């Protein structure tokens, strides 16, 4: 079995770096301890080894596809849905009252990370079902909950989120799907949705679509959008299922993640598609954003997962493949000796460390965000607001950094294999194709960057940003007292100063009403901030590694902790080190208008 | 017909920026003028429109493959070989005495750029045939030339270069293919070669393989390697062809460039494979490097070509796709109005300009290198040495920059299409897969970077580098006198200063014998230098654009030249602007040993 994940690293991140133990004190999570979580993760790892990893290549080579009006997916999707339900991977974090086990989100995130590293085609099927069911439990009536959620938690019915329409793309203001009120309180739904992940297949007997649509006559823009539960099949009074006029019109064949179906759905072509409103009219987008925000972090986790799998695949190759020789002090190579393993070449080591630094730092960022998610769930008042703002602040970065930098990591993994990396017989090319979608799913990098700079930085007059800076400052303060870490703590402090300079330079554009200029380099700002935030995560990892080494409490072996410190140093040298150049670009006023003048692109 | 290339830009680059007219003064090229070259390029464009672009998608969807001992390629390869010969695309640059037309290499490079933008599966077939034939004319006996070259120039016989072996990869020192001397002066060849591009197919009646092998008993290492002509079929006394025991053992299925076959060849399994020595024994590698160096520039051109095609595909989409609205001065969007075209969003414009800046700058770099190639061919003595050193200096950069940055360009092109970019129905994903090979072909980016820093920077005590710096300084001097360009000229001057600082920091490691440390960041140095070199190209482009605007001699329209200046400014802001960060990393001594310690990667 090829390695795709490192369980020691995952446990270290969960239990030491992110102190999962902290949250067991809250009544919601009182049933859990480290041991029970660890056993849960072991069972997910076994499931992934046995059922997910073995069919990963096959799901790519025999992709999900549309045939005779149906979506055909790999038969293992049946096992996936059943076993996911059995392991609690759909409803485990739900409240007891909804049949859940109140598992900490952190534990479930870790579980999905394992599954997704094993086979990134898989987690979307149970994951979106969980997200849709959670949305119904949060904002739906008791009747909606009783009707749909138990079958979804059992993996018998799938769930989806239906936002995108052909003419609107990322611009949700322009959604035209329409809901016509009916005398019985339900609605008739008409419209088309595209790019619907996991939207149909034979291994769920029903699908519960969460659909954004406008109630007839609603105002234009996002303020006229409502949310509906629209099942593929309606439930008849006798409990049997009948068609609800939701037709799968086709699918999208993709470059990667080919085992995860992407569908085109048509609602109400026969005027017989019934939907039920979730929550209040015209507030649909705010409800959907619960699911959307979780999905964004899941996409970031997808980036981490593929990068993890690619790292271990390329590491294994580098440890086994002999080629060339190390350079001697006279600059020559000794051809009388045998070849060395390629892991001994500095450039290969650089490519390995870059992958490790990106994937582990990103994993830490995903867990940090998820911890805020857990904490906002169990706290109240000001404390809750604090965690909620921190989560909002991190979400676009947690979605984007692993998607963008994870792609670079995988790219380096492929490069380590040379010509073989480009060949279909080796798995790296599949990871390379798969991870490319992460920068597009659930809001492209451009959209996330506008969210970060345009909305999150200025949220509540900058309060969210201040809270985040305070968190980072606390990590810096801890690290600055440790001799080994002090230089890196100071570097990170300097980066925060530079971020302030950049914002002091940019914000006046917004204040003077030139929003387009303010936001024109948002994607670069995202790249700049992402490196700072992951630098923060690495400093945190460094603190816990160094503490282990200083106290001698090293359950994973000394080398494990030294490797973490080493990778932290690598990240600071090679990634944080480059960030000053980005700051220069962001504060360059020579060609302010470079992006504004349409005429000069041809 | 979708656009894949801009002929105006190509002509401007050839005739203005790189002053193709300069070289018509040399007797070798005296038959040519701008008009004849322009007509030649038009005919290549027609050929590409009619025969290459239309089958580009199909060659990917029905990839070249191995079946029943044979390689099956797209039937259009037949047309490609015939028409390439007819248009002079195989032997046009050869000497008159070898049946060539002494066409300037610049013109042929431009022709291949057009073909390759139309269909990057295609140019390798005639291109490698040309390279192999050129190698035979340069170093082979008259008998070898007479026997092989005419059929190769006619496109009837294909040519290949056979270097890589399964156990050696990039490490040519470890080649084990063996040549056993025969009484008649020929050799019996035994060995295996992998990753042989265009190595076999049904549309050439014979293949002429140029094979690196060791004469039995030759010294170890690269100094014991000889070069052989090994045909797939031997020529019998009566002129007919008979098997030469070269067996196609299989192929490599690839992620991209799937229409261009990659083969595994076995020589002499039946002890009946005859080969003929090219030049002197044990000097094979130096001969092969003539072909290899040309091939490296061709790979760089491949990167430019795919990036050009991807740019125009994404530009077309951005000009046609409405989505979202521009932000108003109050930070809101007016949903009462229709959607805007996505080209009006600053982030989309950034992604377009990044592509344009990378592909046009890279195209200029390829042409610059090719002009040195032409000039070294027609000059003598010191002048020839100068051009030769300049070409050697630029080769690794001309191979790497378009391969690495071109990939980033294509990545941005794909992103512009959002979800559609990831879908098989749109061509961007094909470009994304295709271009990935360029950083691997003919020496990976790591190998090129070692070549640049380890060999070229120190070549003749730094003379090659000094010559290059003098060329750049001359461009700076011209630009500094032009008001519009002066700030950019000064920026480039500053970059040269920074490059000197970096080298002053690194070279002492080599001088003190720590070669591994000297070279450990070679790939970063390549990235750093690549941006400076392409910045130089943009300044050159800027000079010619500005001169056109100042003199009013604007045959392609004023907007054309303004767009070039605008893109130059973009390149300086967004790419050169980031370079200082890289210099910081290269001169960071905090963690010198980060790449040397094996134990810390796990």
Prediction ipTM score? 0.96
Output the pLDDT for position A366. Answer: 98
Q: Please check whether residue B414 touches A, CB under 8 A.
A: yes
Average pLDDT over every residue of A352-362: 97
**Nearest CA-CA distance, residue A72 and chain B, Å:** 18
CA distance B592 to B222: 31
Cα-based distances in Å from B271 to B56, B200, B246, B527: 40, 20, 10, 47
Output the pLDDT for position B234. Answer: 97
- Token pair, residue B348, equals 């989309």
CA distance A416 to A316: 11
Q: Say yes or no for a CB contact (<8 Å) between A559 and B432.
A: no
Place of tokens 């020496």: B443
Query: Residue B576: inside a domain, yes or no?
Result: yes
Query: Residue A102: inside a domain, yes or no?
Result: no
User: Which one of A344, A580, A602 has the shortest CB-CB distance to B563?
Assistant: A602
Query: Residue A508: inside a domain, yes or no?
Result: yes
What is the number of CB-based contacts under 8 A between chain A and chain B?
301
**Nearest CA-CA distance, residue B469 and chain A, Å:** 23
Task: Give A121's pLDDT tier (boundaries 50, 70, 90).
Answer: very high
Q: Say yes or no for a CB contact (<8 Å) between B422 and A519.
A: no
* Torsion angle of C-alpha atoms B308, B309, B312, B318, degrees rounded to 10: -120
The per-residue pLDDT of chain A, averaged, comes to: 95
Task: Give A333's pLDDT tier (boundaries 50, 70, 90).
Answer: confident
Has residue A598 got a pLDDT over 60? no
Has residue A326 got a pLDDT over 80? yes
Q: Please check whether residue A27 touches B, CB under 8 A.
A: no
Looking at A442, A471, A527, A575, which residue is catalytic? A442
What pTM does this model have? 0.97
Q: pLDDT by residue (tens digit) across A369-404?
A: 999 999 999 999 999 999 999 999 999 999 999 999
Q: Please check whether residue A337 touches B, CB under 8 A.
A: no
Q: How much of chain A exceeds pLDDT 70, in percent?
A: 98
Domain count, chain A: 1
**Nearest CA-CA distance, residue B317 and chain A, Å:** 13
Task: Give B590's pLDDT tier (boundaries 50, 70, 90).
Answer: low
Q: pLDDT by residue (tens digit) across B256-294?
A: 999 999 999 999 999 999 999 999 999 999 999 989 999
Query: Residue A37: inside a domain, yes or no?
Result: no
Residue A254's beta-bridge partner residues?
Answer: B423
Q: Say yes or no for a CB contact (<8 Å) between A349 and B170.
A: no
Average pLDDT over every residue of A480-487: 96
Has residue B399 got a pLDDT over 90? yes
Q: Say yes or no for a CB contact (<8 Å) between B519 and A329.
A: no
Cα-based distances in Å from A33 to A95, A107, B71: 18, 11, 60
Output the pLDDT for position B333. Answer: 82
Average pLDDT over every residue of B213-229: 95
Average pLDDT over every residue of A460-486: 97
The DSSP string of A332-371 is: ---TTSPPPBGGGSHHHHHHHHHHHHHHHHHHHHHHHHHH
Q: pLDDT by residue (tens digit) across A524-558?
A: 999 999 999 999 999 999 999 999 999 999 999 99
Whether B442 is catalytic is: yes
Instruction: Supply the range of the domain harboring residue B475.
Output: 444-591
Query: Residue A502: inside a domain, yes or no?
Result: yes
Q: Please check whether residue B263 touches A, CB under 8 A.
A: no
Q: Which residue of B has its CA nearest to A582?
A: B578
The pairing of strands A262-267 and A246-251 is antiparallel
Q: pLDDT by residue (tens digit) across A494-529?
A: 999 999 999 999 999 999 988 888 999 999 999 999
Q: pLDDT by residue (tens digit) across A123-165?
A: 999 999 999 999 999 999 999 999 999 999 999 999 999 999 9
A332 CB-near residues (< 8 Å, 6+ apart): none
Q: pLDDT by residue (tens digit) across A578-595?
A: 999 999 999 987 544 555
Q: Please check whether residue B324 touches A, CB under 8 A.
A: yes
Query: Residue A540: inside a domain, yes or no?
Result: yes
Query: Residue B168: inside a domain, yes or no?
Result: no
Has residue B497 got a pLDDT over 50? yes
Identify the DSSP state of A30: T
Average pLDDT over every residue of A185-191: 98
Looking at B116, B165, B392, B442, which residue is catalytic? B442
Average pLDDT over every residue of B456-472: 97
Average pLDDT over every residue of B145-169: 95
In a mutational test of the A interface, the residue from B302, B490, B578, B583 whose CB has the highest number of chain A CBs within 10 Å is B578
B311-344 burial, b at 16+ Cβ within 10 Å, e below that, comes to bbbbbebbeebbbbbebeeeeebebeeebebbbb
**Nearest CA-CA distance, residue A50 and chain B, Å:** 24
Cα-based distances in Å from A103 to A107, A189, A383, B592: 7, 36, 21, 45
Which of B61, B99, B151, B32 minimizes the C-alpha distance to B424?
Answer: B61
Task: Give B592's pLDDT tier (boundaries 50, 70, 90).
Answer: very low
CA-based angle A513:A515:A516, to the nearest 5?
A: 135
Output the pLDDT for position B596. Answer: 57
Query: Residue B566: inside a domain, yes or no?
Result: yes
Q: Please check whether residue A490 touches B, CB under 8 A.
A: no
């Amino acid at each position: 079995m090829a390695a795709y994940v490192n369980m020691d690293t995952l446990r270290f991140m969960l239990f030491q770096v992110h102190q999962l133990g902290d949250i067991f004190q809250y009544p919601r999570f009182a049933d859990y301890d480290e041991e029970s979580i660890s056993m849960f993760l072991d069972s997910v790892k076994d499931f992934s080894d046995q059922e997910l990893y073995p069919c990963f290549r096959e799901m790519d080579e025999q992709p999900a596809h549309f045939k005779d009006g149906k979506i055909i997916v790999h038969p293992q999707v049946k096992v996936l849905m059943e076993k996911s339900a059995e392991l609690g991977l759909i409803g485990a974090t739900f409240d007891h009252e909804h049949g859940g086990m109140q598992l900490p989100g952190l534990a479930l995130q870790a579980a999905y990370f394992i599954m997704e590293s094993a086979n990134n085609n898989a987690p979307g099927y149970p994951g979106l079902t969980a997200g849709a069911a959670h949305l119904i439990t949060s904002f739906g009536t008791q009747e909606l909950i009783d009707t749909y959620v138990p079958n979804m938690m059992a993996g018998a019915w799938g769930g989806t989120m239906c936002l995108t329409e052909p003419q609107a793309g990322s611009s949700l203001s322009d959604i035209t799907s329409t809901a016509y009120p009916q005398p019985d309180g339900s609605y008739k739904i008409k419209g088309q949705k595209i790019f619907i992940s996991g939207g149909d297949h034979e291994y769920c007997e029903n699908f519960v679509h969460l659909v954004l649509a406008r109630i007839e006559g609603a105002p234009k823009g996002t303020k006229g959008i409502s949310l509906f539960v629209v099942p593929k099949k309606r439930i008849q009074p006798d409990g049997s299922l009948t068609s609800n006029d939701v037709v799968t019109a086709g699918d999208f064949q993709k470059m990667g993640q080919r085992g995860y179906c992407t569908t085109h759905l048509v609602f109400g072509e026969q005027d017989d598609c019934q939907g039920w409103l979730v929550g209040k009219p015209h507030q649909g987008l705010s409800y959907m954003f619960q699911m959307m925000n979780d999905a964004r972090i899941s996409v970031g986790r997808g980036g981490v997962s593929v990068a993890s799998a690619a790292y271990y695949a390329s590491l294994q190759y580098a440890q086994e493949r002999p080629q060339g020789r190390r350079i001697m002090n006279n600059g020559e190579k000794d051809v009388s000796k045998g070849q060395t393993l390629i892991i001994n070449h500095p450039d290969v080591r650089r490519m390995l460390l870059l992958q490790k630094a990106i994937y582990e730092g990103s994993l830490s960022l995903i867990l940090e965000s998820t911890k805020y998610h857990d904490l906002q769930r169990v706290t109240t008042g000001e404390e809750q607001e604090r965690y909620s703002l921190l989560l909002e602040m991190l979400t676009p970065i947690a979605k984007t950094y692993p998607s963008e930098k994870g792609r670079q990591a995988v790219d380096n993994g492929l490069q380590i294999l040379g010509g073989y990396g480009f060949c279909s017989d080796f798995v790296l090319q599949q990871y390379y194709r798969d991870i490319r979608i992460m920068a597009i799913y659930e809001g492209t990098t451009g959209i996330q960057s506008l969210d970060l700079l345009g909305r999150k930085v200025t949220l509540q007059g900058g309060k969210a940003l201040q809270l985040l800076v305070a968190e980072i400052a606390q990590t810096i303060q801890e690290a600055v007292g440790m001799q080994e870490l002090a230089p890196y703590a100071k570097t990170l402090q300097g980066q925060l100063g530079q971020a302030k300079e950049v914002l002091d330079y940019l914000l006046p554009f917004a204040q003077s009403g030139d929003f387009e200029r303010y936001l024109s380099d948002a994607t670069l700002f995202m790249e700049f901030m992402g490196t700072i935030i992951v630098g923060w995560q690495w400093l945190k990892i460094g603190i816990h590694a160094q503490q282990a080494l200083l106290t001698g409490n090293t359950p994973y072996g000394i080398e494990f902790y030294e490797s973490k410190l080493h990778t932290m140093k690598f990240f600071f040298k090679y990634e944080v080190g480059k960030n000053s150049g980005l700051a220069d670009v962001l504060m360059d006023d020579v060609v302010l208008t470079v992006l504004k003048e349409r005429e000069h692109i041809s």
